[in-house]
């Protein structure tokens, strides 16, 4: 049932984005307003209910962690929203039931669902643009010329269709593989994100080594090497330690040992399959290109 709902939502949002970017953008902004109003409502209720608690300590601690969203929202929203929507959604449901019972909980659940729908819309909108940019730079061994095309309606139709197919494959495989598919998807997102962060750190080091003798070095921003290496070390540590399962049977978040390895295994499996496919297609493309050929 949840798999069908997820596929339906993915299909609807993809069709909207294929039909019109303006309509998709309008829907995303409208749902962002709904999400903001929902958060404000919860905040006001919270002020009344927790006035005597100690939750005011460190009220502004780490609030600057999300400021980088405004630097490159097309890229950062993909990761920030994906990771945060799961946590926020669960907390909102527990909060609603604890404060006002089932009636208000159902109402708030509806707005949380709208928020999740809007988050998916923003991810699909921004993700398709990432695919188009990758196509422009020929990052794909094949189909780069097709993925960068814009339809007559001004929408990246091919990129949206590819994104839908990949998303549907993940939803079907994960949704039918485990009874707690939400936990599996969330763990996959977390694990894959840290893999990505580690690879980014390695890529930045490579870029710096390539440009170390660049004439415009004075205009480049310097950063401490030790911080970069610590960042990569943290990413490596998390990707390795993530395979250590929980053993506390009394913990509601604990899951069986084999099931604990499932999200990380799926993430690594997709990564290996993608890497092998890229190498294979890249080699195939180069073998079929004959630069010495002349037109008949």
Three-state secondary structure string covering 131-195: HHHHHHCCCCCCCHHHHCCCCCCCCCHHHHHHHHHHHHHHHHHHHHHCCCHHHHHHHHHHHHHHH
Q: Is the domain of 168 the same as that of 189?
A: no
Which domain range does residue 264 map to? 179-211+221-286
Of 120, 151, 177, which residue sits at a domain end?
Answer: 177
Q: Is the domain of 18 the same as that of 109?
A: yes
The residue whose two tokens read 């037109």 is: 295
User: Tokens in use for 293?
Assistant: 């050929």
Q: Is the domain of 116 the same as that of 229?
A: no
Q: Is the domain of 244 the same as that of 169?
A: no
Give the residue among 84, 83, 90, 115 at the shortest CA–CA distance from 105.
90
Q: Is residue 273 over pLDDT 80?
A: yes
Residue 141 domain-assigned? yes
Residue 153 domain-assigned? yes
Number of Cβ within a 10 Å radius of residue 79 = 17
Residue 294 domain-assigned? no
Separation of alpha carbons 163 and 78, rounded Å: 13
Mean pLDDT of 192-196: 82
User: Tokens in use for 146?
Assistant: 């097709």
Q: Is the domain of 276 the same as that of 228?
A: yes
Mean pLDDT of 237-266: 63
pLDDT confidence tier of residue 293, bands split at 50, 70 and 90: very low
Number of Cβ within a 10 Å radius of residue 94 = 10
So what's the pLDDT on residue 198?
A: 84
Q: What are phi and psi of 126, to 5 degrees?
A: -75, -35
Q: Is the domain of 17 the same as that of 157?
A: yes
pTM score, two decimals? 0.59
pLDDT confidence tier of residue 197, bands split at 50, 70 and 90: confident
Residue 88 domain-assigned? yes
Q: Is the domain of 144 the same as that of 34?
A: yes
User: What's the whole-number average pLDDT of the chain?
Assistant: 72
User: Tokens in use for 103?
Assistant: 């009636």
Residue 292 domain-assigned? no
Percent pLDDT > 90 in the chain is 0
Q: How many domains, in total, are found in the chain?
A: 2
Mean pLDDT of 239-266: 61
Residue 296 domain-assigned? no
Q: Is the domain of 188 the same as that of 112?
A: no
Q: Is the domain of 272 the same as that of 207?
A: yes
Q: Is the domain of 45 the same as that of 95?
A: yes
Annotate 160-198 with b (16+ C-beta within 10 A) or e (fewer): bebbbeebbebbebbbeebeebebbbbbbbbbbbbbebb
Whether 16 and 23 have beta carbons less than 8 Å apart is answered as yes
pLDDT one-digit tens code per residue, 152-164:
888 888 888 988 9
How many residues appear in the chain?
296
């Amino acid at each position: 049932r949840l798999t069908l709902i997820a596929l339906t939502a993915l299909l609807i949002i993809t069709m909207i984005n294929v039909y019109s970017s303006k309509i998709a953008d309008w829907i995303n902004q409208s749902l962002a307003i709904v999400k903001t109003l929902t958060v404000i409502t919860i905040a006001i209720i919270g002020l009344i209910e927790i006035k005597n608690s100690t939750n005011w300590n460190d009220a502004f601690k780490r609030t600057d962690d999300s400021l980088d969203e405004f630097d490159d929202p097309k890229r950062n929203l993909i990761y920030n929203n994906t990771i945060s929507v799961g946590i926020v959604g669960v907390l909102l449901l527990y909060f609603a039931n604890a404060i006002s019972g089932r009636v208000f909980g159902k109402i708030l659940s509806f707005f949380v669902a709208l928020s999740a729908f809007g988050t998916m819309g923003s991810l699909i909108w921004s993700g398709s643009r990432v695919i188009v940019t990758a196509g422009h730079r020929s990052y794909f061994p094949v189909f780069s010329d097709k993925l960068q095309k814009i339809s007559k309606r001004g929408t990246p139709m091919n990129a949206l269709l590819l994104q839908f197919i990949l998303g549907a494959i993940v939803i079907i495989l994960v949704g039918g593989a485990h009874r707690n598919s939400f936990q599996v998807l969330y763990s996959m997102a977390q694990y894959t994100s840290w893999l990505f962060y580690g690879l980014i750190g390695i890529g930045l080091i490579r870029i710096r080594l390539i440009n170390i003798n660049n004439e415009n070095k004075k205009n480049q921003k310097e950063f401490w090497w030790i911080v970069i290496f610590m960042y990569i070390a943290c990413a490596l540590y998390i990707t390795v330690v993530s395979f250590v399962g929980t053993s506390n049977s009394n913990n509601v978040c604990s899951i069986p040992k084999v099931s604990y390895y499932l999200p990380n295994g799926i993430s690594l499996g997709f990564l290996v399959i993608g890497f092998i496919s890229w190498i294979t297609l890249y080699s195939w493309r180069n073998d079929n290109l004959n630069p010495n050929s002349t037109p008949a």
